[in-house]
Amino acid sequence: MVFRNVNTYHNMVRDGQARLYDLRYEGEIEIMTKDLALGPKQYPLVIDGQRITGRSHFDDRSPIDENIIVGRFPRGSAEDVDAAVDAAKRAFSDWSRADLETRLGIFTKAADIMDEERFRLAAAITYDNGKNRHEAIAEVDEAIDFVRYYVGCMKENNGFSNETPRAYEDERSQSVLRPYGVWAVICPFNFPLAISCGMMTGAMVTGNTVVVKPASPAPLMPYLYYDILERAGLPPGVMNVVTGGGAEVGGRLTAHPEISGFVFTGSKEVGFDLIKRSLRRYPVPVIAEMGGKNPAVVMPSADLEKAVRGIAHSAFSYSGQKCSACSRAYVHEEIFDDLVGRLVRRTESLRFGDPRKADTYSGPVIHAKAVQDYERYVEMARKDGKVHCGGKKIEVPGLKGYYVAPTIVTGLHEDHFLLKNELFLPILCVQRVRSLEEALRKANDVDFGLTAGIYSTERSEIEYFFDNIEAGVCYANRARGATTGAMVGSQPFCGWKASGSTGKGTGTALYLTQFMRQHARTIQ
């Protein structure tokens, strides 16, 4: 399969269009800013192709400024979930039997629409969850990549329908992967288009139908993806969208007896609960990505400037709110003080503030509770270790948003809460080690196993790291991100241990096979 990542920023800068890149993004931000000034837009539920409004709602307030209402979304009920599941179940019969080329053609057209409207979508992401232009546009790129890559996988594998070797001369056998039915798709706030699009597309392109619950802190993007798919020709009932609270909408969706599978990105606690709920009359599949506590290891032979760039970017881009964010660094004692000093200087040079501005490195955290968690964790760090920089809220003139400073902490004891738990905040804990073996022992001594990185010019150290680290996505000497930055088609994004439930990563053909079950057919 021939596949190329979209990579808008890289390509436009390469082609001498850096200014055009800024102008197109800023033009869409200006349009959306004017639209939001006219008053909140009411968004509907989508059930069986019908847009349903006229009920109680909640306001989606931008983390940039809580006075900005991105939209008003319905508080869905258990009855709405039931209606959505019923619609998806009715649509499944025709959709699962639709001609493969027809089905793939819809998603190809949807990817083309997203490509044409990428800057509009990026502006919506900025307002919805606070990403700066580079992070927002990269997310749109990733969403397009997921759709095109999964379409390519289905074509390359003939819809996962293949002849198998003959056991007897007078028999012909075939292996066919068939869709399960109705999938519940539970979306995250941090990648509300890319990760959500990957999950939704993975389910639908393989012939399933879906009921989607967007994340309440950032519910806009799954709805916009539905709108694009509808324009591309998606039949009614194949994708249904129900917004609302976790207790009412999420609770009913995860308990519904007609759900044939769950796909989820979020916390370990919710993921484990889904796995427990999947054990019914017969088990249903759960594809869960449940976060990380991602380490970087730095050895004496490392290029320290490269290490500093990679660690700082992975720790503090999008204010640490990535499943793959670097939250721990284990640094050899020979270079510890030097590296910490360099990290602090680089971190203090990063501009945090209004993500709509071109010179902003990172914007706000998602909501007020995240700020409260940040303050609590900083208090722990001051009590039990040393805070080298950050550790405070940031005031942005004219904005009432959720801004906190990137923070570096050292000197915590080995079993400290901040070293063991996912924080989802711009807090990096740096620890001193005497050897690579000690670094990996400590790096592996957590429940999670999503991403990890090493900086070393010793080939034997890199090989030892790859052979012994307990993480699904691993990097060596990566300046663009110690633990972040997986690209569709290049790095399968797979969580080990409590970071994932299946051992198969997104952005691969193997990921798609999880949405189907095997059917052996033999004719004599």
| Options 28, 230, 289, 422, the catalytic residue | 289
Q: Strands (DSSP E) along 53-186, which ranges? A: 57-61, 69-74, 161-164, 172-179, 182-186
Angle between helices 100-116 and 118-129 (to 10 degrees): 70
323 as an active site residue: the answer is yes
Q: Count of residues for the chain?
A: 524
Place of tokens 């970071």: 499
- Three-state DSSP state, 333: coil
Strands 261-265 and 182-186: parallel
Q: What is the C-alpha end-to-end distance of the chain, expressed in Å?
A: 34
Q: Are 521 and 170 contacting, i.e. CB atoms less than 8 angstroms apart?
A: no
Identify the helix (H) or strand (E) that includes residue 10. helix 8-14
Closest by CA to 74, choosing from 219, 274, 273, is: 219
**Backbone phi, psi, residue 108, to 5°:** -65, -45
Strand partners, 172: 523
Identify the helix (H) or strand (E) that includes residue 297. strand 294-298
| Options 153, 323, 429, 494, the catalytic residue | 323
Q: How far apart are CA 63 and CA 401, in angstroms?
A: 5
Cα–Cα distances (Å) from 217 to 29, 269, 365, in that order, read 20, 18, 11
Q: Which two tokens stand for residue 290?
A: 């449940």
Q: How far apart are CA 299 and CA 455, in angstroms?
A: 6
Residues assigned a catalytic role = 289, 323
